[in-house]
């Protein structure tokens, strides 16, 4: 039989009751009667239910002890998520910077290509200008001395006894270099078949062009008059070629 007094666990322990759970208790004297074969089935069910509840309570207590505090784990997950977001943002920032750098590199390459083209163009123009200057400043081929053995003779340059020079004077104030450049760029000496011995710069923007003969001097003067009369004046100057005496050469 079940004892008449059912107490809470704290009261049952003080009064000698045996506990089967957190709520009910049963006295030691009545336990044999409850567990005996002749025990009332209803009382036996109550007893078994109390034992089951006791085990469940123990399992719950063990589960609480074994449960893991995941607060720290959650914090680590949150930190990882935050760092991952920061890394993504940093990667996007670096990607934008790389795109900007690529654009700058492309722009520099384009400008470098333009500089190369300009440089080639300037080189071509410089070569043309040098060629024209050489045509103007090229001298006549020197004659070789013809001296017989143990004889001393006088020799003159080619068949030219006299030569002429043209003094070109600009009508406006400018440098002699500008005058020379204009003549080189606008007068084609090759087509005129004019040979020039030298070109000398003078003051007030003037230049002196020395031709090898009177015919060349006249052609150059007429060409300047026809094409550049509004910019330049020309004056012809004559002078005698010096005699050259070659001594002591054996041929």
Domain 154-245 annotated CATH 3.50.30.30: no
| 132-180 pLDDT tens trace | 877 776 644 333 344 344 444 444 444 444 567 889 999 988 999 999 9
Give the model's pLDDT for residue 117.
87
Give the model's pLDDT for residue 169.
92
Q: Is the pTM of this model over 0.85?
A: no
Separation CA 60–CA 64 (nearest Å): 6
DSSP assignment letter at 81:
H
Residue 197 to residues 13, 62, 204, 229, Cα–Cα distance (Å):
140, 120, 22, 23
Give the model's pLDDT for residue 6.
42
Q: Which of 216, 219, 237 is nearest to 169 (CA)?
A: 237
Phi and psi at 154, nearest 5°, equal: -95, 140
Give the model's pLDDT for residue 241.
56
Give the model's pLDDT for residue 188.
85
Residues in the chain where the model's pLDDT stays below 70: 1-50, 65-70, 137-163, 238-251
| 201-215 pLDDT tens trace | 899 889 998 888 888
């Amino acid at each position: 039989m079940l004892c008449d007094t059912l107490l809470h666990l704290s009261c049952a322990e003080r009064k000698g009751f045996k506990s089967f759970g957190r709520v009910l208790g049963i006295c030691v004297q009545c336990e044999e009667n409850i567990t005996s074969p002749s025990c009332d089935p209803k009382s036996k069910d109550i007893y078994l239910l109390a034992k089951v509840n006791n085990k469940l309570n123990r399992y719950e207590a063990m589960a609480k002890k074994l449960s893991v505090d995941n607060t720290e784990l959650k914090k680590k997950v949150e930190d990882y998520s935050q760092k991952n977001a920061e890394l993504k943002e940093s990667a996007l920032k670096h990607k934008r910077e790389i795109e900007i750098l690529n654009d700058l590199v492309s722009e520099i390459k384009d400008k470098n290509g333009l500089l190369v083209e300009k440089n080639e163009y300037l080189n071509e123009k410089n070569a043309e200008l040098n060629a024209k200057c050489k045509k103007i400043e090229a001298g006549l081929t020197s004659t070789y001395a013809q001296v017989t053995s143990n004889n001393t003779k006088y020799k003159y340059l080619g068949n030219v006894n006299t030569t002429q020079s043209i003094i070109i004077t600009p009508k406006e104030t400018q440098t002699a270099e500008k005058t020379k450049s204009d003549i080189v760029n606008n007068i084609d000496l090759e087509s005129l078949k004019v040979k020039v011995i030298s070109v000398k710069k003078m003051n007030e923007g003037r230049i002196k062009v020395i031709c090898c003969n009177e015919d060349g001097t006249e052609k150059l003067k007429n060409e300047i008059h026809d094409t550049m009369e509004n910019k330049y004046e020309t004056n012809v100057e004559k002078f005698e070629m010096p005699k050259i005496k070659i001594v002591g050469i054996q041929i």
